[in-house]
Structure 1
Amino acid sequence: MEPLLVLTNVPDVAVADKLAHALIESRAAACVNVLAACRSIYRWRGAVETADEIPMLIKTTAASWPQVEAIVRAHHPYEVPELVAVPMTHGLPAYLAWLAKETEKHD
């Protein structure tokens, strides 16, 4: 099992809640943290933009990555959403076992 921490930002809490529920209900993720709003400053199409966004931390596995990507694309309103995964190289064994169990596919 290869655990991943996936990062994304969405425009508001309503989108964050909808996305988080879709990820958990489908077992694509074991846990999603919806964080407090932040200000993002970035370059988009040649202009410097500023946006208030809601950061999200998605705990999942490499095996579930395709499903996470598909769900984020389906629920994310941005043309090009931020969606990056960072491998979890260390973690409390009991937590990582729970993460693996919660992302198992049940037919």
Structure 2
Amino acid sequence: MTDIILIRITCPSRHVAETIADGAIEHRLAACANLEGPVSSTYRWKNVVEQAFEFVLWLKAPQANWDRIEALVLTHHPYDVPAMVALPCIQANAPYEAWVHENTDT
């Protein structure tokens, strides 16, 4: 098992996702960012079922950077409750894992 986590964040626009991605890379919190979308989302908010198009941002980072990435997201994300979850990376090839650590500060 590695200490790399895959962080998934849904964003209301490409601009918000790119702002968070750029900040995470520039501050060496994450080694890589991928942006997908738009995707269709259905969710309950304040007891009303809502539908929206969102963008999915994936960050690859050491687990030790979670708190700093969360702070970055909360600074730039307009939602009251951003959907931000981390999945453990069970395994990664050694050169990629080394690359992630070379391109981040923990």
Alignment gaps of 5+ in structure 2: none
1:54 equivalent in alignment to 2:55: yes
Which ranges of 4 or more aligned residues in structure 1 deviate by more than 3 Å? Answer: none
Q: Which amino acid aligns with 1:45?
A: K
Alignment gaps of 5+ in structure 1: none
* Residue 36 of structure 1: how far off its partner (Å): 2.0
What CA distance in whole angstroms lies between the structure 1 residues aligned with 2:43 and 2:34? Answer: 23
Q: Which amino acid aligns with 1:48?
A: V
Aligned to 1:27: 28
1:47-90 Cα shifts (integer Å, max 9, x gaps): 10001000011100111111110001101010000010011011
What CA distance in whole angstroms lies between the structure 1 residues aligned with 2:77 and 2:105? Answer: 24
Alignment coverage as a number of residue pairs: 105
Aligned to 1:42: 43
What CA distance in whole angstroms lies between the structure 1 residues aligned with 2:86 and 2:63? Answer: 9
* Residue 103 of structure 1: how far off its partner (Å): 1.1
Aligned to 1:8: 9
What CA distance in whole angstroms lies between the structure 2 residues aligned with 1:62 and 1:13? Answer: 25
Aligned to 1:82: 83
- Secondary structure of the residue that 2:37 maps to in structure 1? coil
More strand by share: 2
Q: Calculate the TM-score normalised by the size of structure 2.
A: 0.95
